[in-house]
Structure 1
Amino acid sequence: MLTPRQTEQFGSSCQYRYDDSNLVGSGSFGEVYTARITERGDYVGEDVVAVRRVSIMHKSLVEDPENYGKLRERFQLLLNLQHIHLVQYHQISIIPTRMAAAVKLMMDYYPNGNLQTKLQRMKDSGIHLHCREAVGHALDLADGLAFLHQNNIVHGDLKPENVLIDRSSAHGQLQQENLRISDLDHLVTLQRSTVSALGGEHFRGSERYMSPEMLRAIGPPVSRHTWPVLPGCATDMWSVGCILLQLVRCMTGDYREILHHPVSGQVRGAGATETLKDLAFSTAVMSGYIPVVLVSDAACTAVPPELAACIGDCLRTAGDQRITAQQLCDRLSHIN
């Protein structure tokens, strides 16, 4: 159990420094800063890293020995996750505070932003995403997710903002973009009940990318940002399908947001320059409506039929009918 004067550190023995001027982003899960390594210890990465600082508001996580033990296990799990399509964590520190504790997670820094920023910039500029690039991005996501699922881990909050862009260079030449799934510090382990790494007994998600079963479990809008039940692999696949749908829209330039009810045949949607409000969108999904690939006749040839089929198989209403991450990898790898 953590006492008020103890700080516990996991992972690399390096030291780093940052201040408030190094803030690069903030959200419901804390703030992210850039930091500079001051003492390398056993760390062998870049001099500039990212540090995510999160406040733990539930005292039970650090005062209850069983919960704190699970917290330590979760941090060790994060440090052991190594995959080309996952953000790499190097050091995690738990620091006592007056309320409960703060957690600092040191990870690799990717200065090229996230997938949401890229797609929005392309939309604003009228630039279309090339089919090969879209399929490559989809394969990156599927591969990283397949690794997590094979290790009985669910992400639980997949969305373009949580997908970072890594551009590595060799011999002075820019290489193809490599996507890395981020925000792994609140992932869910399967096979046993655990507490969230940072959030207590409730997990958070983004309703735009939440599966129908998770939205139904949430209930009324007042509790829309907590999950009374744990997500599973199938809920991640719904989220991936929503992201792939955004890639297709960027390919075709057709940004109409349309949802179709497979039983009644009814359609809901917004115009070419609008999107449905979050409440209207999630209510429709809870009612059985499914986001669909909708492109104009002139753009149809830009979307490989197998890519559209993969999206459809991710966005099935019933979770047990959705494609798995490994199946998605296999099918995407055969798209020319």
Structure 2
Amino acid sequence: MPSPLPHNRLLHLQFSSSVNARPCSSPLLFPDKAEKFFCAEGVSPRVRRLPTRLAWCSIDWDQLCLLHPLGSGGFGSVYKAIYHGTTVAVKQVKKSSKNSLASRQSFWAELNVAHLDHNNVVRLVAASTCAPASQDTLGTIIMEYVGNSTLHHVIYGTDCKTEKSKDDGLGSGHVSLSISEALGYSCDIVAGLIFLHSQTIVHLDLKPANVFITEQNICKLGDFGCSQKLQDLESSSPLLSQQGGTYTHRAPELLKGERVTPKADIYSFAITLWQMVTQQEPYLGERQYVLYSVVACNLRPSLTADVFKGSATGQQLETLIESCWKSDVAKRPSAELLLQNIHSLSLKV
């Protein structure tokens, strides 16, 4: 479940019409053109490049055509779409979710990265709470299209239903990651974290499924439904600040209800890197047992795999991972130091 946001971020179901007053404004709608919201694959409205200064705070519905679903979850669905002649991804947050408050909070959290532009972060193009009446959505977000392949697909070889697999019938297959490849992906991930942390944003749900891999083999951090701005945390209650995220990757201090810091993302990265080099699931067993053991018994994924014991590089990799998932937050490296350590290790591979 996404992390709840401070109550002062949830004043209204609709955004203010002032861009300065709220992070998003409600666009004018054209009901007579709502039937153009969906269109067939390959059909695009007025093919032209996306306006360079298009305001992210409103959606030009007449220029949006949903093509086909890319995936769905508890709070909504993601579609491949055409917007102003450019291929994009569209996330629609459902009104009919079992927890509508959490759905709204997830939508607001996604907007933490609005206006931001970095090579390793999925970019937001536009957003609005308004939509054609036929759409059961309380919020729509348009993002750059980065494909449908994630680090989870690469690690575990699951069928990611990429464009290639749809076109030629091929699945993603299971390909073992070398240490060199894992470190290369790690550089992208940590570079994205450095940028987010410089903007006082913590992701709080870093895991392989939320790391997208482009056709150029570049990692981009996505799915910011659990993210938080550090300045917002100062005015929220500790309990509200700690909820959400994926329990296998959630730092022990957050499980204990302690203060959120960027070091929580470093812990999550350690679990993600461990998955890359072992291609195993972090934990087996019941959720409550894992949660208790992580906090009370310092449980971490096993470091007995051959990849850590077979070479000096493997042993250094083990040391790096251990430094990132230490229980003592102060002893974990910053994202900047972590990137330096990964670069140094990469030179030895």
From 200, 204, 211, give the equivalent of 1:156: 204
Higher strand share: 1
1:91 to 115, 126, 131: 126
Q: Partner residue of 1:240?
A: 269
Aligned letter for 1:32?
A: V
Asked if structure 2 preserves the Cα contact closer than 8 Å seen for 1:156 and 1:232, the reply is no
Question: Shift in Å at residue 195 of structure 1?
Answer: 9.1
Question: What does residue 284 of structure 1 align with?
Answer: 293
Select which of 338, 344, 349 maps to 1:328.
338
2:325 counterpart (308, 315, 318):
315
- Which whole-Å deviations, capped at 9, do the CAs of 1:184-237 have from their partners, x for residues lacking one? 2441111333899xxx988521001011122233xxxxxxxxxxx663212111
Q: Is the 8 A contact 1:203 1:230 kept in 2?
A: no
Q: Which of 4, 8, 13 in structure 1 is aligned with 2:26?
A: 8
Aligned AA (1:134) = A
2:78 aligned residue: 32
Percent identity of equivalent pairs: 24
Distance (whole Å) between structure 2 residues aligned to residue 205 and residue 242 of structure 1: 14
Return the letter of the residue paired with 1:131.
I
Amino acid at match of 1:239: S
Return the alpha-carbon distance in structure 2 between the equivalents of residues 332 and 311 of structure 1: 10
TM-score in terms of structure 2 length? 0.67
Name the counterpart of 2:227: 187
**Matches of 2:225 and 2:308 in 1, distance apart?**
43
From 76, 87, 108, the equivalent of 1:48 is: 87
In the TM superposition, what whole-angstrom CA distance separates every residue of 1:136-160 from its partner, at most 9, and x where no partner exists? 0111111100111122110011111
Asked if the contact 2:155–2:175 (Cα under 8 Å) also holds between the matched residues in 1, the reply is no
Contact 1:256–1:294 (Cα < 8 Å) also in 2: no
The verdict on how the C-alpha distance between 1:8 and 1:298 changes in structure 2, with shifts beyond 3 A counting, is closer
Supply the distance in 2 between the matched residues of 1:244 and 1:309 (Cα, whole angstroms).
12
TM-score calculated relative to the size of structure 1? 0.70
What is the DSSP-based 3-state SS (H/G/I as helix, E as strand, rest coil) of the residue aligned with 1:52? Answer: strand
Q: Is the 8 A contact 1:314 1:322 kept in 2?
A: yes
**Cα distance change, pair 18–301 in 1 and its aligned pair in 2 (3 A):** same
**What is residue 118 of structure 1 aligned with on the other side?**
154
Query: Cα RMSD between the aligned structures?
Result: 3.7
| Count of residues in Structure 1 that have an aligned counterpart in Structure 2 | 273
How many Å apart are 1:277 and its aligned residue?
3.8
Structure 2 unaligned segments of length 5 or more: list them: 1-11, 18-24, 28-54, 159-171
2:78 alignment partner, SS class:
strand
Q: Which amino acid aligns with 2:151?
A: L
**SS of 1:191 mapped into structure 2:** helix
Distance in 1 between the 2:15 and 2:343 partners?
A: 52
* Residue 109 (structure 1) aligns with: 145
- What is the CA–CA distance in structure 2 between the aligned matches of 1:27 and 1:256, rounded to whole Å? 21
